[in-house]
Amino acid sequence: MKKLFTVLSLCFSIAAVAQTDTADLSAGATDMVFYNAATRTKTHASNLDWHLAFGVRSAIPPYKTNQAAAIRINEAIGVELYKSPSQKVSSWSSFDTTGWTGWQRMHNPDTTWTIGAFNVNKDFSNDYNYGWGSYNFGPHSVIGDSSVYLLKMPDGSFRKIAILNLQYDTAYNFIFDKLDNSDLTTGQVRKRPYSNKMFVYYSLSAKSVMDKEPAITDWDMVFTRYNNTNYDAGNLSQDMGVLTNDSRVVGAMASSVATQPCYNGPYSTYINAIGKTWMQSTSPDSLTYYVAADGSSQTAYRFVMNYFGGSYTGQMAFTTSTSSCATGITDVAADGALTVYPVPASDVVHISLASATAYAGTISVTDVAGRALIAESHALTAGLNHISFNTAILQSGNYILSINTASGTVSRMIAVAR
């Protein structure tokens, strides 16, 4: 789904002066702050008044289809999503919530923007399945599977909702109602007016669409409150942290504090690579993060957290510096496009890897310190390969999965949680 890049060499860099800046999420951490590291521009938007976020980027087959139909929920304010195990739209008026606390609760992954809570049941071996529905080549639309979902609202009330379709990749159509059938509403979110954004937002209370994000090319990271999905299912952690832009940013990877303005990898494509790992106290850890932009000549941002005032103040302070880094980069999107799921994994990681040719490949896993833990050989064929990789021997934590391809080696950060 994502383009991955192998950094081959670091030729030269010109370091910019480090600058200290702040992000103010307001008291109670009620805002999200989109940040452009080059211009230091900050865009503030309230996190309090929306319930659903709809992905408005177009599908780019075969590797970037998920981004077109991602639907997230606002877990930052307490929205909860549950899927009825059997009830369909055909029984809408008689929707029964008996035993709802035992239904599947669905969360936004915090590792990617391309999968939301409504997408977590997708068939990851099928690029045209999106969890809530599948692409139909007849009407050229994503057609909902008629599932009815239960939404618990921040005030404790409930709504039932069904995603009907994504028509011609131009407009989402959905219905929602109170449980007593007293407020049936047909909702629509059109993509075209927001084609330069990642998401457009929707309030179920106001029954209105909300435009909150800057253009996707105008921000590198967002300071926000989100649910951490590296969790014990009974102890979900809600955090304040930093999530990176997956369209503009290749990756972010923590490394030991260093003076060099650039970093030659490996990079993680997870949007929570900075996340909240630095936020152990009001005195953050001493890690330096490198955020690399897409392209054959990268601009790398060094990012260091300096201060966290907690949710009471919602204030964060950090230092950034920018460098123009000539890096030898091989684009292996055509030969080596890699998808790894689920996020996080438990005993098995499923891998989808595109290859232009057949060859003998090696899949290896190292810890973040570079110690080799697992290595397996696999006979790969031309086309899309699906591999199940056993992670049962790994402790909970983050690891680097690497696969050698005919064009080079691609690396991906994976997470294991038990």
Per-domain boundaries in the chain: 5-40+217-329, 52-210, 338-416
The burial class, CB within 10 Å (0-12 / 13-18 / 19+), for 134 is middle
CA distances from 126 to 160, 319, 386 (A): 27, 42, 11
Kindly report the average pLDDT of the chain as a whole number.
81
Q: Which of 142-146, 156-160, 319-323 has the lowest mean pLDDT?
A: 319-323
Single-letter code of the amino acid located at 200: V
Specify the pLDDT at position 144: 97
What values do phi and psi take at 348, rounded to 5? -140, 135
Report how far residue 216's alpha carbon sits from residue 248's, in angstroms, rounded to the nearest whole number: 8
Find out whether 282 and 324 touch, Cβ atoms under 8 Å: no
Span 330-376, pLDDT tens digits: 333 334 567 777 767 778 888 877 777 788 888 888 875 567 888 88
Decide: 229 and 259 in contact? Cβ < 8 Å: no
Residue 7: the pLDDT is 34
| Lookup result for tokens 């330069």 | 196
* Position with higher pLDDT, 304 vs 205: 205
* CATH number given to 338-416: 2.60.40.1930
- Check residue 334 and give its pLDDT: 39
Q: What is the DSSP letter of 310?
A: H
What confidence score (pLDDT) does residue 130 get? 93
